[in-house]
Amino acid sequence: MDRTADVDRKTNETAISIKLCLDGTGKHEIDTGIPFFNHMLSLFSAHGFFDLSIKAKGDIEVDFHHTVEDVGLVLGDALNKALGDRKGIRRYGHITVPMDDALTSVTVDLSNRPYMVYNVPSIPFSGAGFSVVLAREFFRAFSTRAGMNLHINVFYGQDEHHIIESVFKAAGRAIDQATSSDDRLTGICSTKGVL
């Protein structure tokens, strides 16, 4: 089965093009105009073993919010499309990832029922332009459009960069688990018979 997707979205604020292959090796080509966001998405791709191409242009001279949120929306659409009918996937994924001072757990259910929990310690904004609040907006948009139940729990951390990095790495690995196939499954992993 070809688990790939190619999705474009254009608004008055952003133009986003994403190509996603769930069964890749972690190759990535990311250009959002936001260097830190590029780095985080590259980590997501590498740790999830997704081949990912993102080209995004947005009104980053205003702020990063529109671009970050819209990349989340389009990536969610791409994941949803690449999953198809979701037959044979494990559906659930869970991982805990350390990043120096930060420790993050991400748990995923590809249930087609979007919901997000985002527990991150309150830390002073670093002023670097990308924050835990922007990361939250990305994951909210991503989980909504992907039909994903997403729980992000940062147990502790002092450095904003390390916290955000641990979240993106853990998300990649948890989603990789959830999207992987299980030979024991002949249909949908649900007693309802549908996700």
Mean pLDDT of the chain: 93
Tell whether 84 is covered by a domain. yes
Domain presence at residue 184:
no
Residues 6+ apart with CB under 8 A from 150: 106, 107, 108, 115, 116, 117, 139, 142, 143, 171
Total number of domains in the chain: 1
**Where does the pLDDT of residue 158 fall: very low under 50, low under 70, confident under 90, or very high at 90 and above?**
very high
> By C-alpha distance, which of 11, 135, 117 is closest to 69?
135
Q: Which residues pair with 64 in a beta bridge?
A: none
Q: What range defines the domain where residue 141 resides?
A: 4-179
Model pLDDT, residue 90: 94
Asked if residue 175 is part of any domain, the answer here is yes
Structural domain includes residue 133: yes
Here the CATH number for the domain that contains residue 102 is 3.30.230.40
Place of tokens 């989603």: 175
| In a domain? residue 8 | yes
What's CA 22's distance to the chain center, in Å? 12
Residue 134 has pLDDT above 90, yes or no: yes
Exposed (0-12), middle (13-18) or buried (19+): which is 175, by Cβ within 10 Å?
Answer: buried
Contact yes or no for 125/163 (Cβ under 8 A): no
Ramachandran category for residue 51: left, alpha or beta (phi over 0 → left; psi -120 to 50 → alpha): beta
In a domain, 9, yes or no: yes
Determine, yes or no, domain membership for 190.
Answer: no
The dihedral through the CA atoms of 154, 103, 137, 172 has a sign that is negative
Chain segment 77-98, per-residue pLDDT in tens? 999 999 999 998 999 999 999 9
d(CA 14, CA 10): 6
CA dist 113 and 194 (Å) reads 12
Residue 126 domain flag:
yes
